[in-house]
Amino acid sequence: MLRNSHQPRVFVEEGGALRIHVLIGVAAFLQYVVTLLALRVLRVTRKEPAWLLITAVALLMAVRRTIVLIHVLWPSTSYQPDVAAEYVGLAISVLMLIGMARIRPFFIEIQTSREALRRRTHELAERVKELNLFFEMSRLTERPEASLETVARGLVELCARAWQYPEIACARATLRGEVFTTANFQETDWRQTADILVRGQPIGQIEIGYLEPRPNGDEGPFLKEERRLLNTMAERLGTLVEHDETRKRLQHHQVELARVSRISTMGGMASGLAHELNQPLCAISSWLRGCMDMVRSGSASPDELLRALEVAAEQTQRAADIIEHLRALMGKGDVKRESDDANDIIRRAFDMASPEAKQEGVCLQLDLNDRPRPVMVNSIQIEQVVLNLVRNGLDAIQECPTAKPAVTIRTSDTPAGELEVAVHNSGQAVAPAIQAHVFEPFFTTKPEGMGLGLSICQSIIESHGGRLWVTTNGEPGTTFRFTLPRSEERSPDAC
């Protein structure tokens, strides 16, 4: 055994060289494993100072082991391994390895938890986007003035923002041949589609696409949650289309029912209208016969004949106006709304109801506000409401005659700025128990009544954004009142 001249060291004989080489190799391998584990844990701990120091120590020991291993593999006469130091180093490496092995599951759990938290955070952000989408969808679809086209265009813009990569997302919806797209829409290979169904039949399609490739998810670059969201949007659009079709059918039925009601009303007023038409016709006949007599006698002057013909023409126009108004009331027409003066509408209804009121000996009165009252309405429908309420008043007076039978139509402004029309009759007051049912379909107190007039009136007024109700207020008779929103147009004398 040899000794160094500077300090005592234990060297191995040549027979023990293999054993010490194996010892050094095992110690180096263990130290490398310890270093790799330390680096992995350092990555998990996000370079915390304490673990950064432990990793630095492990790296330095690995460097030392590498130097020793190099000397062993390429022997040098100037270096002889110290067996005791190698055993101590091996023990340290084993202890560090055991320690790493014991704490590694803990750090793996930390890493797993962090990955799970990252995924959950991402999923939560996606769910928040979905909730925002559903909220905006609800706001969009619940707007009463929004058309189906407006809703479809809005949903296309909304859904593109709810996908995982909104910056490159585009969308397109097709409804019965009509196409709605985002401004950046392009045909792309990365897309999701869903059919829009109405009563099981496809009527269109909604499509989401990415303009650039993205990593694969559950369905190409898309998530399974996005597939559910797209199917939900397609289902919602199908429901909206179905509701829109149902609304249009109901609106058509309501228009037809109102027309039938108008025809029924005109039938009830036939006697009075015949009398009203008889007056201008009789006048025309009289003036024309006078002209004929003057011509036969040879005493007619051109001025007299011209005057007689002018009067006959005026009466002819009066009869034509009555017939034209009857045709408008009973015709199908359309439901177009235009700005009109409420006072003019009421006067036209007043003129139509006056002959029947005169026949029955009832005083029909107008008490209108002097200023014009512009309203955005379908004039024929509002005339129908006024006529129905007047005729109800005439019927009530016939059931309970009074000393001064009268029906009065008044207009006024509500505190909310709406127009209020009141039709008051001096007949029998509606009993409180009946007031709650008078607007129900098929409810009637008349033996020959259908019970549809007031129900139709209420539907017409509510479709115009107003309200119809009945009051007694302790005064004789009954008052039916309805409101109409004022048109945005200002009256000429408004300040």
**Is 352 within 8 Å of 387 (Cβ atoms)?**
yes
Read off the tokens for 223. 């998530």
Spell out a b/e string for 424-462, using b for 16 or more CB atoms within 10 Å of the CB, else e: bbbbbbbeeeeeeebbeeeeeeeeeeebbbbbbbbbbbe
Within 10 angstroms of residue 89's Cβ, the number of other Cβ atoms is: 21
pLDDT tens over the chain, length 495 residues: 334 444 444 444 444 566 777 777 888 888 888 888 778 777 766 666 767 787 788 888 888 878 877 777 776 556 666 777 777 777 877 887 787 777 767 777 777 787 888 888 877 777 777 777 777 777 776 776 677 788 888 888 887 787 888 888 999 998 888 898 888 888 888 888 899 888 888 888 889 899 988 888 888 888 888 888 888 888 888 888 888 887 777 666 666 655 666 565 555 555 555 655 665 677 677 777 778 877 788 776 777 778 777 777 877 776 776 666 566 555 555 556 788 888 888 888 887 778 778 878 889 899 888 788 888 888 878 887 888 888 888 888 887 777 788 899 999 888 888 899 999 988 877 777 777 777 776 666 665 555 667 877 888 888 888 899 988 766 678 889 999 988 754 443 433
Residue located via tokens 């609106």: 251
> Is-contact 481 421, C-beta < 8 A?
yes
* CB 182 within 8 Å of CB 210: no
Question: Residue 371's CB: how many other CB atoms inside 10 A?
Answer: 14
Q: What is the DSSP letter of 77?
A: T
| Whole-number pLDDT of residue 482 | 93
- pLDDT for the residue 421: 92
User: What is the spatial distance between Cα 193 and Cα 204, in angstroms, rounded to a whole number?
Assistant: 11
Q: Indicate the pairing of strand 363-367 with strand 406-413.
A: parallel
- The answer to whether the CB of 332 falls within 8 A of the CB of 259 is yes
Q: Three-state SS for 408? A: strand
How much helix, strand and coil, in percent to the nearest 5, is found in the chain? 60, 15, 25
Q: Side chain identity at 427, as an amino acid letter? A: G
Q: Vertex 206, ends 200 and 211: CA angle to 5°?
A: 155
Asked whether 159 and 171 are in contact (CB, 8 A), the reply is yes
Condensed to tens digits (0 to 9), the pLDDT of residues 369-424 reads 878 888 888 887 888 788 888 888 888 888 777 778 889 999 988 888 889 999 99
- Residue 197 to residue 232: CA distance in whole angstroms: 11
Cα 352 to Cα 350: distance, rounded to the nearest angstrom = 5
- CB 209 within 8 Å of CB 195: no
> If 0-12 CB within 10 Å is exposed, 13-18 middle and 19+ buried, where does residue 167 land?
exposed
Q: What is the DSSP annotation of 313-362?
A: HHHHHHHHHHHHHHHHHHS------EEEEHHHHHHHHHHHHHHHHHHTT-
By the 8 A CB rule, do 53 and 42 touch? no
Give pLDDT, residue 9. 42
Q: By the 8 A CB rule, do 345 and 384 touch?
A: no
CA distance 106 to 100: 10
Q: Cα torsion for 484, 488, 494, 495, to the nearest 10°? A: 130
Q: What is the pLDDT of residue 285?
A: 78
Task: Give the pLDDT confidence score for residue 296 in this predicted structure.
Answer: 80
Tell me the β-bridge partners of 253. none
* Distances, alpha carbon 13 to alpha carbons 16, 18, 81, 236, in Å: 5, 10, 11, 88
* pLDDT at residue 271, as a whole number: 52
CA triple 460-463-468, angle to 5 deg: 60
The separation between CA 298 and the C-alpha centre of its own chain, rounded to angstroms, equals 79
